[in-house]
Amino acid sequence: MSYELQHYLPLELGLYQPLTVNEENTSIIKPYIKNPLKIQFDCYCIECKKETTFKFYQDKFDQYYTNQYQMDIERRIDSKLPIDFIFKCQRDESHVFYFTLLINEDKVIKIGQYPSFADLQLHKINKYRTVLKNDYRDFSKAIRLNSQEIGAGSFVYLRRIFENLIEETRQIASEQEANWENNVFEGSRMDNKIKLLKDYLPDILVENRSLYAILSKGIHELTEQECLDLFPNVQLAIELILDEKIHQKEKQLKISSVRNFVSTTIEKLKS
């Protein structure tokens, strides 16, 4: 059983998205029913505020009656009752991760989870707070909505942030390039805009710019599913631009601190 598969139910499967178990994916659910005692996975702990290993937790009674635990799970499946899986943070036992499954023949549905996907995601964007300024609220709102499977709603926020970042980049380019043609830029689709800004954007974004052509479409032209599928890629693109901004900011700080040091040292040596 691979580590990735243990990961799937707690961290990949969305709420109320029925998973149909077939021959190919049966190993996703099997260990949870047959041998949950061995299950562990790495995940961000919202209490420790860092990555940790969560291990399956059983209360004292179960520890002495291991087989009974498995029987209990199977009995619950037969009776179509929900099954709770509780995991504990290995740094502090009071930090828990849990989720509830409803298993009905070949359908597995996750009907509850703590912490929510949004809580697990949001800590990752905290470092962008200062570079995003006013857009930070919209960025966290987008992630919250997306974790609730709200496609178009979440996508609107994300697209606006992406467009704001492209606009900021356009301003820099138009200041720095003597023969910048704004008409050409404004009349272009998103993929071409990215190409025109290629010297100011991360390479990976420029290489994959065709992906963002779809951002020029009206939101009514996109299906709910298209919005959900696009979301992670646009989120990544935004984060790449922000990472670059943070990097540039730190670099500038270091440069000015070196300059400062050199000039004050020269002054000192002169006197």
Binding site for Zn ion (CB under 5 A): 45, 47-48, 89, 91-92, 95
Residue 59 CB, nearest distance to Zn ion (Å)?
19
Residue with Cβ nearer Zn ion (45 or 228) = 45
Q: Is 164 exposed, middle or buried (0-12, 13-18, 19+ CB in 10 A)?
A: middle
Residue with Cβ nearer Zn ion (55 or 189) = 55
Residue with Cβ nearer Zn ion (56 or 128) = 56
Residue 121 CB, nearest distance to Zn ion (Å)?
17
Residue 53 CB, nearest distance to Zn ion (Å)?
10
User: If you ran DSSP here, which 8-state letter would residue 217 be given?
Assistant: S
CB 46 within 8 A of CB 54: no
Category of 105 on φ-ψ map: left (φ > 0), alpha (ψ -120 to 50) or beta: left
Residue 49 CB, nearest distance to Zn ion (Å)?
8
Residue with Cβ nearer Zn ion (56 or 157) = 56
Nearest to 144 by CA among 121, 167, 126, 110: 121
Residue 48 CB, nearest distance to Zn ion (Å)?
3
Largest pairwise CA distance in the chain: 88
Distances (CA, A) of 80 to 28, 37, 72, 92: 19, 22, 12, 33
Evaluate the CA torsion angle 220, 223, 224, 226 in order and state its sign.
negative
Residue with Cβ nearer Zn ion (120 or 165) = 120
